[in-house]
Amino acid sequence: MDITVTINGQDHTHDVEPRTLLVDFVRTKAALTGTHIGCDTTSCGACTVLLDGVPVKSCTVLAVQADGASIMTVEGLKDADGAHPIQAAFKEEHGLQCGFCTPGMMLVGHALLEQNANPSDDDVRWAISGNLCRCTGYMNIVKAIRAAGAMATT
Amino acid sequence: MFPSAFDYVAAHSVREAVAAKAEGGDDTRFLAGGQSLLPMMKTRLANPAKLVDINRVPALDTIERANGHLRVGALVRHADIARSDLPFGVIAAAAPWISDPLVRNRGTLCGAVAHCDPEGDWNSVLLATGADVIATGPSGERAIPIADFIVDFFTNALHVDEMVTEVRIPIPVGRVGGSYQKLERKIGDYATVAVAAHIELADNGTISRAGIALTAVAPKNTKVPAAEAVLVGNAPSDVLFAEAGELAAQASQPRSDVRGSAEWKRNVVRVFTRRALAAAVVGANES
Amino acid sequence: MTVTEKPATPIEIGGIGHSVKRHEDDRLVAGKGNFLDDHTLPGMLHMAILRSPVPHARINSIDTSAAEALDGVVAVVTGELLAQYDLAWMPTMSGDTQAVLATDKVRFQGQEVAAVVATDPYVAEDALELIEVDYDLLPAITSPQQALADGAVLIRDEKEGQTSNLVYEWESGDAAATEAAFARADRVVTLETHYPRSHPAPLETCGCIADVDGTTGQATIYLTSQAPHAIRTVFAMVAGLPEQNIRIISPDLGGGFGNKVPVYPGYVVATAASLVIGRPVKWIESRTENLISTGFARDYHMKGDLALSNEGRILALRVQMLSDQGAFYADAQPTKFRAGLFHVVTGSYDFPAAHVACRGAYTNKAPGGVAYRCSFRITEASFLIERLVQTAAYELGIDPADIRFRNFIQPEQMPYETPTGFVYDSGDYPTALRKALDAVGYEDLRAEQARARADGRLMGIGIAHFTEAVGAGPSKQYDILGLKMIDSAELRVHPTGKAILKLGVKSQGQGHETTFAQIVASELGIPVTNIKVMEGDTDNTPYGLGTYASRSTPVAGAATAVVARKLADKAKKIAAHLLEAADADIELENGNFFVRGTPAQSVTIQDVALAAYTNLPDGMEYGLEGVHYYDPPNLTYPYGSYVVVVDVDPETGVWKVRRMVALDDCGVRINPMIVEGQIHGGLTEGFAKSSMQWITFDDDGNCIGSNFMDYLIPTAWETPKFELLETCVPSPHHPIGAKGVGESATVGSPAAYVNAVIDAIAHLGVRNIDMPLLPDRVWSAIQAAGVAEG
Ligand SMILES: Cc1cc2nc3c(=O)[nH]c(=O)nc-3n(C[C@H](O)[C@H](O)[C@H](O)COP(=O)(O)OP(=O)(O)OC[C@H]3O[C@@H](n4cnc5c(N)ncnc54)[C@H](O)[C@@H]3O)c2cc1C
Ligand code: FES
Ligand code: FES
């Protein structure tokens, strides 16, 4: 099937099997490898993308379902002015170690801040509870997301 | 891990979806949120020949109060329910505890209901509130009481050419409260034990209606009529709740597994039923 | 000595002590990380592995014909085929052998049986379903006790001379002195516990891309490896490829935690397949494959006895340990020590005698025994002694903090030789514990606990004071398969005064690109942003045994400091030449070289670097570069005091962490921000293992914990919030006084959580619950203690 998915504002048209997972479309067809794969059971969120603005696990969406949809991946966070506040905050607050969960964490954080620019510690913990991190113990991820919110509001 | 190959149709109306399903038969499955079906397909526990994607069917994403019911369409996601202020009592209480925030953004209540996973939460909520499942087939729709809809472990009462288009939950008049007590090991885990409690209070403060249902402690989500019966007509009290808890524990059929022993699970049913009822009554008094 | 001194370098230089923001972050936050699966090579094929569904069975036949016929399948590899190249078996890190693809029997569920190479990963997986294997089932052995019982079926029947399932027997300490102390003891306190099987489960699974050029013989292997150099040597030995033709490239790693140290069958099969087919072959583990087949950790069954005086003085320790090794003995550990460094089990306490007797058994489970965020079995050791001491406190009616103070090794006893032969380098344990107790408000909490008990509420306070032994290790004692556990650093300063540092170790998220640059910045005064750190490409970095067991800072960090000092010596000579002064009069401070007493007259490191290529004193060799191989004189011994407060629901057994106060002393902190991040991660690991994260097996040998729905990783929601404290007693023998910290919290914290839960119910007579402390187990323990609910 020929499908067109808009990723970070750019159209990607490819012929795919119906069974192609969205994460494979993004990583292989669109060659955007910032979106990762960490599990087989929809548990880890390393594959998180924003599908029409909503965070989803792209390993559990078929690419054909995203035909005509608009997707944002980690590569889309950076704008013309350089690093996005959330990217800057993750570096500043040491919100990442190996960086494997980081794209998903930042996208979920970004989506949260769109709704609530000043989330509490628990708001953030709740929002990222579909994303696993094996390195950081989450403390600094929470800090980074809150700091990004503060950066954006000041 | 990748699914086996399959054919795919994106339906644009209920009629189209039902027709495609009728044509494909048992080897064809509807695809709603995909949050149960796709993980099973990736691990090749499910290998359907064809998927009928209902996500492009318009108007199924409505959640509304109409004709004395809360109507939840087939494309209403768990997150929509958690975010909406229309749900009441145990429905509102359970919504945030379904899986995790990202899964909630995709998964649907109707899909979960159709899936009939005994560890799924929604069917207990619907049992407690006395909901109907609306099934639509080639010849129109029918309302199936949830207790009849849940046939067994992963088995529902749909005909092969029917889809769930909506779930209808009666909205009680008067004071209503509910609570969903769920023991999960972590976010994203299914319930080890959960108890749904729905309480309606009469003007004189006695319990006029009670719904209690259990998750993950029997081959299917289980309503506990005996516990409901001791409550109705009586004034709420700790003693009463404890008695209901005891009856719920007796009605449960937990199995020992890696999460814990049957004995402990039965105890949790006892404790959670008591706590859920107490919380539901608090909610009803505040409503 | 308990203050972190102000960094000696200004922030522009960013040397040791500064929380420099990490160099690696820019690419990682941009989604431009360079992880293994992100690589695609021209003509690359994809490999998938067929695994045994059963734990123990004889293989009658394997039929691959239908799989071979599938469109897109290039090859199907079986053990029989590999045997033709003598590759059906490979050596393990512990000197045992392991099947690459099973030929005779399968010995654990998930064992590698066959592999498909195809043009597309989806097709490779389709083909697996078409392979038919005929098995004759054999009884499965699911515990080491069962394995060593009379009449147990022999798992390793292919091994010559192997007549039982015993893997090894090993002991340490003085049995006679220990028995004598027990004979004198007023009291003996015993604890039996199982440290359950666990898995490091880095978020990125293991994988490789093997690219072997049949014509040139060049083998370039991209590999998720924490120890690329050691792997190259092992590959040369296993595959018989000439070592100069093997290049291992370990790209960005999405975590490792010990999982990415060994050589796994998938790597060998992919390499063989690439060699035979002549195209690159990629193999990426699924999460299930990761959890069921590669790199398990722990699984120690331990019994400890403490001999005590009535006053609570420890007189001796006696330990019996039985390890569950799985089907192949593959512990990644120093060869001399069959149970890793488990004999460090005497902990932080001063007593004269100990004896540790260890045995290992083969079972029908996955092999591994990796150092999961810990230095070779120290986690198990630390857990046992801290649980034992706590038990002794209850039995003797002494406060759990008090019994520790009574037995601590005192600062003035350092360096301290333990009864099992470790020489602790430095530390002030009493100060550390006191500080942690004060921070948590220990006395108030004990008062609250008494009140809570009176009201039928349960709360507990758990203490753990651990001592780690990291930085393996001195070449006299430490080698893996003969390779000495040294590590290296190569430093080159370019003419413009910018530097590149190349290391034999490999970061998996610890921030080497930043911390190692900081060491150089401190030594030479080159700004940290002007120093590039390179690791993970064996053609372009010096030899080393890799990053695990908190080795990097103690060994490679030391190598970095020493090589930088070598360069500083040469630089001073060049500076003397430029300043027309005597070599001996030159001082170096923050990148400025000056003649002692006249700082106004100076040249910079940048001037000197340029001169190294343009203007040298007569007879000096051009260039400013060097390499150093560091052989540590001793291990380093980081330690810490952790205090956890929990509330337990008596009706359900559910417990919640109210506070977690963690004091760590890891000597000098190179980058405090990174150190704290490492500690956060480790404290989370400890919480995970004490509460939910384990791998178990049913009676039939089926693995439970084979995916992230069953092997539970806590999310941000369950994970406690941590309060960190520090003291700083530098390592006296390390060039910069650092001790290493990557694993301390994983080692120290499990006992703290468990001790807290036990403390909540100790008054009921409960002394032990094995990890994980599932609510069910806690509730059952309360019930068994005979106390009604409520
Ligand atoms: C990590 C994770 C954790 C989870 N935790 C929980 C939890 O704690 N509690 C819980 O209740 N659930 C949990 N779930 C399941 C989740 O709630 C699913 O969303 C839900 O079970 C199925 O809904 P869906 O829309 O995704 O259905 P799908 O996956 O699309 O479908 C599920 C099944 O129902 C059928 N179906 C779907 N829609 C219809 C319809 N309209 N008519 C007829 N048949 C239909 C499909 O054909 C399929 O057989 C979890 C899932 C994941 C991945
Ligand atoms: S890869 Fe783990 S949730 Fe998608
Ligand atoms: S930073 Fe490594 S998994 Fe989160």
Q: Is C696 on the interface with B (CB under 8 A)?
A: yes
pLDDT at A154 (0 to 100): 66
**CB–CB of B183/B177 below 8 Å?**
no
Neighbours of B233 (CB within 10 A): 11
Q: Which of C579, C588, C567 is nearest to C493 (CA)?
A: C567
**Is the Cβ pair A56, B42 closer than 8 Å?**
no
Give A128's contacts in chain B (Cβ within 8 Å). Answer: 101
CA dihedral C472, C477, C480, C485 (to 10 degrees): 40
Among C residues 10-39, those touching chain A with beta carbons less than 8 Å apart:
19, 21-22, 24-26, 28-33, 35, 37-38
- Residue to probe by mutation, ligand 2, list A22, A35, A44, A128, most atoms within 8 Å of CB: A44
In what order do the strands lie in the sheet containing C639-648?
C458-467, C639-648, C655-665, C723-726
- The domains of chain C are located at 25-33+487-630, 36-138+205-252+260-293, 375-468+635-784
Measure C662 CA to ligand 1 centroid, in angstroms: 41
Which of B1, B183, B186 minimises the CB distance to C712? B186
pLDDT at C788 (0 to 100): 40
* C238 pLDDT above the threshold of 80: no
pLDDT at C370 (0 to 100): 87
| C36-138+205-252+260-293 has the same fold as C25-33+487-630 | no
Distance CA C299, CA C193 (A): 10
- The domains of chain A are located at 2-76, 85-153
pLDDT digits (tens, 9 = 90+) for C16-71: 999 999 999 999 999 999 999 999 999 999 999 999 999 999 999 999 999 999 99
Measure C282 CA to ligand 1 centroid, in angstroms: 33
Active site (annotated) includes residue C285: no
Neighbours of C631 (CB within 10 A): 16
Q: Is C405 on the interface with A (CB under 8 A)?
A: no
In chain A, the residue whose alpha carbon lies closest to the alpha carbon of C510 is A97
* C787 pLDDT above the threshold of 70: no
Q: Mean pLDDT across the stretch C121-125?
A: 98
pLDDT digits (tens, 9 = 90+) for A111-131: 999 999 999 999 999 999 999
Enumerate residue ranges in chain A where pLDDT < 70: 80, 154
Closest approach of chain B CAs to the CA of A56, in angstroms? 5
Q: Which domain holds residue B136?
A: 63-170
**Is the Cβ pair C25, A17 closer than 8 Å?**
no
Give A126's contacts in chain B (Cβ within 8 Å). Answer: 101
Q: Which residues are paired to C187 by β-bridges?
A: C308
Domain count within chain B: 3
Neighbours of B238 (CB within 10 A): 10
Residue B112 three-state SS: helix
Distance CA C281, CA A92 (A): 39
Give B97's contacts in chain A (Cβ within 8 Å). Answer: none
**What backbone torsions phi and psi does residue C107 show, to the nearest 5 degrees?**
-120, 0
Measure A41 CA to ligand 1 centroid, in angstroms: 13
Ligand 3 nearest-atom number relative to CA A134? 3
Domain end, chosen from B137, B170, B203, is at B170
Treating both helix axes as pointing N-terminal to C-terminal, what angle do C429-440 and C400-407 enclose, rounded to 10 degrees?
160
Domain end, chosen from B170, B188, B215, is at B170
Residue with tokens 């690791």: C535
pLDDT at C545 (0 to 100): 85
Residue B60 three-state SS: coil
Question: Is the complex ipTM more than 0.95?
Answer: yes
Active site (annotated) includes residue C374: yes
pLDDT digits (tens, 9 = 90+) for C692-710: 999 999 999 999 999 999 9
Domain annotation covers residue B16: yes
Distance CA C411, CA C408 (A): 9
pLDDT at C471 (0 to 100): 86
CATH code reported for the domain at C25-33+487-630: 3.30.365.10
Ranking C89-93, C567-571, C658-662 by mean pLDDT, the lowest is: C89-93
In chain A, the residue whose alpha carbon lies closest to the alpha carbon of B190 is A43
pLDDT digits (tens, 9 = 90+) for C206-236: 999 999 998 898 999 999 999 999 999 988 8
**Is the Cβ pair B267, C712 closer than 8 Å?**
no
Same domain, B266 and B204: yes
Measure B97 CA to ligand 1 centroid, in angstroms: 14
Measure B111 CA to ligand 1 centroid, in angstroms: 5
Confidence tier at C4 by pLDDT (50, 70, 90): very low
| Residue B111, CA distances (Å) to A20, B149, C33 in order | 22, 13, 37
Confidence tier at C93 by pLDDT (50, 70, 90): confident
Confidence tier at C552 by pLDDT (50, 70, 90): confident
Structure tokens at A29: 């067809």
Give B100's contacts in chain C (Cβ within 8 Å). Answer: 715
Does domain A85-153 fall under CATH 1.10.150.120? My reply is: yes
**Is the Cβ pair C287, A87 closer than 8 Å?**
no
| Cβ of A134 less than 6 Å from ligand 3 | yes
Same domain, B180 and B279: yes
Same domain, B157 and B187: no
**Is the Cβ pair A55, B35 closer than 8 Å?**
no
CATH code reported for the domain at C375-468+635-784: 3.30.365.10
* B22 pLDDT above the threshold of 90: yes
Bigger pLDDT: C369 vs C59: C59
**CATH number, domain at B218?**
3.30.390.50
In chain B, the residue whose alpha carbon lies closest to the alpha carbon of A23 is B2
Active site (annotated) includes residue C192: no
* C239 pLDDT above the threshold of 80: no
Pick the CATH number of C36-138+205-252+260-293 from 3.40.1160.10, 3.90.1170.50, 3.40.605.10, 3.40.640.10: 3.90.1170.50
Q: Look at ligand 1, atom 44, and give the residue with the nearest C-alpha.
A: B114
Distance CA A145, CA A152 (A): 11
Distance CA C554, CA B176 (A): 64
| Cβ of A26 less than 6 Å from ligand 2 | no
pLDDT digits (tens, 9 = 90+) for C152-182: 999 999 999 999 999 999 999 999 999 999 9
pLDDT at C336 (0 to 100): 87
Same domain, B160 and B197: no
Give C676's contacts in chain A (Cβ within 8 Å). Answer: 94
Q: Which of A111, A11, A1 is nearest to A65 (CA)?
A: A1
**CB–CB of A134/C713 below 8 Å?**
yes
Ranking B256-265, C126-135, C406-415, C590-599 by mean pLDDT, the lowest is: C590-599
**CATH number, domain at B19?**
3.30.43.10
Pick the CATH number of A2-76 from 3.40.50.2300, 1.10.3720.10, 3.40.228.10, 3.10.20.30: 3.10.20.30
pTM of the model: 0.97
pLDDT digits (tens, 9 = 90+) for C71-81: 999 999 999 99
Mean pLDDT across chain B, nearest whole number?
Answer: 97
Q: Mean pLDDT across the stretch B57-62?
A: 96
| Cβ of B114 less than 6 Å from ligand 1 | yes
Q: Which of C566, C410, C454 is nearest to C501 (CA)?
A: C566
